[in-house]
Amino acid sequence: MPCVPFALLLLPAVVARAPNILFVLADDLDFDYKQDRKAIMPHLRERLADGGLEFVNHVAVVPVCGPSRTSLLAGRYPHNVGYVANARAPSVAAWSKLQNDTLGRWMQRAGYHTAFLGKYINGMECDVPAGWHHWGGLTCTRLHGERLGGTYNYLNASQWRANFDDAGMLLGEKQVKIWGNVHQTAYLGEQTLEQVEIAVAKRRPFFVHVTPLTVHGGTCEGPQPEEKYAFWDPYWERYNYDPTPVGPYGEGKGTVLTGSPCPTRTHAWSYNALRNPHLPSWAAFANGTVPKHIAAEGNPHGLHARGCCDAWEADRQDFVYRNRTAAARDLDDMLGVILKGLDKMRLSDSTFVFFSSDNGFHLGEHRMLFGKTKPYATDVRLPMYVAGPGLPRGETRPLPTTHLDITATIAELGGAAKHAPHPLDGLSFKAALGSAPPALSEWRDFSFSEFYVNDNTWRNIRLIDHATGQPAWAFHWWCSNQSEVYREADDPFQMANVGGDDPTPFGRSIVRRYLPATEVLGACVGGACNRMPPAGTPSANPLPCHDPGELLHVDEAWMD
Ligand SMILES: *[C@@H]1O[C@H](CO)[C@@H](O)[C@H](O)[C@H]1NC(C)=O
Ligand SMILES: *[C@@H]1O[C@H](CO)[C@@H](O)[C@H](O)[C@H]1NC(C)=O
Ligand SMILES: *[C@@H]1O[C@H](CO)[C@@H](O)[C@H](O)[C@H]1NC(C)=O
Ligand SMILES: *[C@@H]1O[C@H](CO)[C@@H](O)[C@H](O)[C@H]1NC(C)=O
Ligand SMILES: *[C@@H]1O[C@H](CO)[C@@H](O)[C@H](O)[C@H]1NC(C)=O
């Protein structure tokens, strides 16, 4: 039993048994490899980093929005969920069958008041899944023939407002709220507190999952068309128009580069002096073999076959960086509203706060213009913090946790794991929240990630060094049958591929030992996902380049 503050014992029995859980999931927020985060986000620093635990080796099991979020809600790898690619018909069909019985529903059955607020699954934003007493998901852009602001519109978004009882019966009406000119981070924080108040009134513990679009790319479209961009961004044309577009959806002149979020007016111009830091990997391929997919594409949207980064691109990356910085500040303001609200309600001592992101983000590293979806550390590693009752403060944990482990941990904290209809692929790290965390050897010393979209199909194992608690190496296997091995202990920016066509003895030994393991893990279920397959396991599950099927909602498909 973790240490429970005395005050808790005075609360109603159900609250004393089950802690409140708030899970804030940012969008496209990297793991702070530019080391700029804590200066930008004071509430994150004070309340979650200094005031809680930082899991420094946290990774995405799949570094892109929809697959990352579905796997998290189900607590299973994408290869078991079936939603492997954003807004593809087979992925949407697979999630349609599962979405009513996820972590929200299990927590509800364990006695929680559950609420979901913010971005939902790509291509499925018209849906209202079961399992949540309150559904405040941001909507799709076309509903019953009506055009709406949707999810990717920071100032003119549309949001479901629907309430349900324990049995899933709709209470009142299912409404769509249109947020003309109000920034997402302004209302998602307030709504979080509203849901907390409702839980308190019901004498229930709460599980609130709040998932703002911030700091993902999106528009500033206000409610007035004439206000569209002119007032907001005098540089819009310079920023957004690409002089040499060869886009995947056949765009002509005017291709929009989608890396930039829309910050609030409070912070939008506060970071104009900043430039995108150019790390050693910026605009540079690693030496050793460059996998075909990376060499050919050079950037995630195929806008420039030559890869990045020329002066024009570097300039736009600076814009993206400034706006991402300002948006991170907005996110921190939202976090501050929530944490201060919990203090005021005297709930901070009974609430676990989890903070992470769905995937990371690169901005010129490895010559990729901007985006995610790749096995590099920029994309798979994530920020992850937990603060809560009785937790140590200001400590770090080296365990290579994933979102699937967060699901398993929240389910354990809430007594909800028994309600999951399938085995969970993650491992609870509840023991690591105490003052005597398990050693890597007792828990798990590796993480596994996967990605299944055409040439960008890969599997990735990352191992943590037991002595230092730092990443030891990362092994990427591509469907082009190419390998990358980076000794991250000496090569944190992943600049020397010691695998590839001309491997060093170390690189060769990693490929020989772990390629079969990627094949086993790429089909694992439950507990088997948390044990490294023994050496010499025969190859049973090779990696062909996966065709994820037909793309739905092409107008928003780029918004992954
Ligand atoms: C999921 O729940 C919604 C709303 O309660 C319902 O309309 C839908 O049919 C359910 N889907 C499945 C696959 O059960
Ligand atoms: C804002 O949203 C409303 C409907 O939701 C729409 O009619 C209007 O055109 C939108 N404005 C902009 C600038 O997108
Ligand atoms: C992005 O940043 C630039 C300045 O750095 C600013 O002028 C512009 O308004 C921002 N764009 C958006 C979409 O917020
Ligand atoms: C990779 O190797 C397998 C055999 O191990 C082969 O079937 C497959 O065609 C190869 N893929 C590519 C893209 O060369
Ligand atoms: C590989 O890249 C690293 C970092 O850029 C550099 O220090 C090193 O000398 C390179 N090695 C070779 C063999 O080119």
In DSSP terms, 451 is beta-bridged to: 458
Indicate the DSSP class of residue 326.
Answer: H
Q: If we measure between CA atoms, which residue out of 122, 141, 22 comes closest to residue 66?
A: 122
Residues in the ligand 5 pocket, defined by CB under 6 Å: 280, 287, 495-496
In DSSP terms, 456 is beta-bridged to: 453
Q: Which residues contact 555 (CB under 8 A, 6 or more apart)?
A: 141
User: What is the Å distance from ligand 5's center to 287 Cα?
Assistant: 6
Side by side, the strands of the sheet bearing 206-211 are 170-178, 158-164, 134-137, 113-118, 206-211, 20-26, 351-357, 385-387, 53-55, 395-397
Distance, in Å, from the CA atom of 285 to the CA atom of 496, rounded to the nearest integer, reads 9
User: What is the Å distance from ligand 3's center to 156 Cα?
Assistant: 17
**Segment 212-243, tens digit of pLDDT:** 999 998 887 766 544 444 334 434 444 444 44
Ligand closest to Cα of 95 equals: 1
Q: Which helix (H) or strand (E) holds 462?
A: strand 456-464
Question: Does the beta carbon of 139 sit less than 6 angstroms from any atom of ligand 2?
Answer: no
- Per the confidence metrics, is the pTM higher than 0.85? yes
User: In this structure, are residues 264 and 274 in contact, taking their beta carbons and an 8 Å threshold?
Assistant: no
Distance, in Å, from the CA atom of 351 to the CA atom of 323, rounded to the nearest integer, reads 31
Ligand closest to Cα of 541 equals: 4
- Provide the 10 A C-beta neighbour count for residue 544: 9
User: In this structure, are residues 331 and 37 in contact, taking their beta carbons and an 8 Å threshold?
Assistant: no
Print pLDDT tens along the chain (560 aa).
344 444 443 333 334 569 999 999 999 999 999 999 999 999 999 999 999 999 999 999 999 999 999 999 999 999 999 999 999 999 999 999 999 999 999 999 999 999 999 999 999 999 999 999 999 999 998 888 888 889 988 988 999 999 999 999 999 999 999 998 899 999 999 999 999 999 999 999 999 999 999 999 888 776 654 444 433 443 444 444 444 444 443 333 334 456 788 899 899 889 989 999 999 999 989 999 999 988 876 544 444 445 678 777 788 788 889 999 999 999 999 999 999 999 999 999 999 999 999 999 999 999 888 889 999 999 999 999 999 999 999 999 999 999 999 999 999 999 999 999 999 999 999 999 999 999 999 999 999 999 999 999 999 999 999 999 999 999 999 999 999 999 999 999 999 999 999 999 999 999 999 999 999 999 999 999 999 999 987 777 899 999 999 988 644 434 45
Mutate-to-test residue for ligand 2 from 152, 153, 156, highest number of ligand atoms within 8 A of CB: 156
Distance, in Å, from the CA atom of 77 to the CA atom of 523, rounded to the nearest integer, reads 9
- Distances 16 to 23, 171, 349, 413 between C-alpha atoms, Å: 19, 28, 11, 12
Q: If we measure between CA atoms, which residue out of 319, 326, 321, 293 comes closest to residue 307?
A: 293
pLDDT at 204: 97
pLDDT at 23: 98
- Distances 350 to 207, 345, 434 between C-alpha atoms, Å: 12, 11, 15
